[in-house]
Amino acid sequence: MRNRTQAARGSGFVLLWFLLATASYAWAQSEAELIAGAKKEGKVVFWSSMRIEDSRALAAGFEARYPFIKVDIFRAGGEQIVNRALTEHLAGKTTYDVLNAFALKVLQNKGLLQPYAAPEATHYPVGFKDPQNFWVSLYSGYNVIGYNTKLVSKAEAPRNWDDLLHPRWKGKLLMDDEEYFWHAGMLKHWGEEKGRKYMEALSRQGLQFRNGHALLADLLSIGEFPAAVVVYPDHIEQMKAKGQTVEWVKSSDPILVNLAPVAVAARAPQPNAAKLFLNYSISKEGQEILQKARRASARHDVPPLVPDMDPRKLKLVPLDPETTNPEHVKDFRRAFGLN
């Protein structure tokens, strides 16, 4: 009986080794095939909502690794990218290979993306990649509370979202007038009853609306307002490094995370180069390039922008890309009287 058990264990180890070796060999073969195909294609077309300089830095790294592929970049806002892709689809053509924008779920639902189980996607946690392998988040944007450290003492600084409902903040809070995704994400995370009750209370705080998170951070830094409902910590950290008196709240639960899905087009003209580019962009090397451009990565083997932004220390909740629904825009504007 003992000999049979040992034999079974031995055969199990052999089978496991065989499966792992086969999987490794399959990727090596698959990559070799992609490279062979990409050499014939010669280029990859990348549409992205990132800053153009960030896309160029990523493209330069990719071209250094795969010198036989040229990256053509088109930069536009996420909504414009989605609309252009839909327009091309209606015209019966596809000129792009890889897309990067938060609203890609719209295209996924219309069958304009193809699933691709990129090997590097295994390094991403649940919520930062599509369970059906349609996309992986190229970078992360944290939604946090910000405040001016000269106007707000450490003892009075908010520690969580409920603290913003304190009477001391009435008429003193800034908020972006297009905070649609945060609003929808909080309702989903907390549930309709708790979420709407909170938003109703927050709307009674006499919020001051401006457009753009960079502007909100600037107004905080000059003391125009003591606090802002949502700012981006990467920007705040850059300002702190320059000696500006701003800070962000690390203890909020949840900290919603804006995703930046990257995906391959269903009818990509250069499908082999597209898959190589997507896999490179989410690899450790590609993510470190974006990290130098102040983009936060969901990969735990890529260092955070600053120690306080380590994803393992924060209560992060990735935003569902379905929050791009136009109804969420109307709902936000109704909730805060912006109609």
**Distance between alpha carbon 93 and the CA centroid of its chain, in Å?**
28
Confidence of residue 311 (pLDDT cuts 50, 70, 90): very high
Global pTM?
0.86
What are the two backbone dihedrals, phi and then psi, of residue 331, each rounded to the nearest 5 degrees? -65, -45
Residues above pLDDT 70, as percent of the chain? 91
pLDDT at position 29: 39
What's the chain's average pLDDT? 91
pLDDT at position 322: 79
Residue 92 pLDDT more than 90?
yes
Residue 21 pLDDT more than 60?
no
Confidence of residue 17 (pLDDT cuts 50, 70, 90): very low
pLDDT at position 324: 67
pLDDT at position 25: 37
Residue 44 pLDDT more than 70?
yes
Segment 148-173 shows an average pLDDT of 97
Residue 216 pLDDT more than 50?
yes
Residue 24 pLDDT more than 60?
no
Residue 11 pLDDT more than 60?
no
pLDDT tens column, 254-279 = 999 999 999 999 999 999 999 999 99
pLDDT tens column, 104-145 = 999 999 999 999 999 999 999 999 999 999 999 999 999 999
Residues above pLDDT 90, as percent of the chain? 86
Residue 86 pLDDT more than 80?
yes
8 A C-beta contact, residue 173 and residue 225: yes
Segment 220-247 shows an average pLDDT of 97
Confidence of residue 304 (pLDDT cuts 50, 70, 90): very high
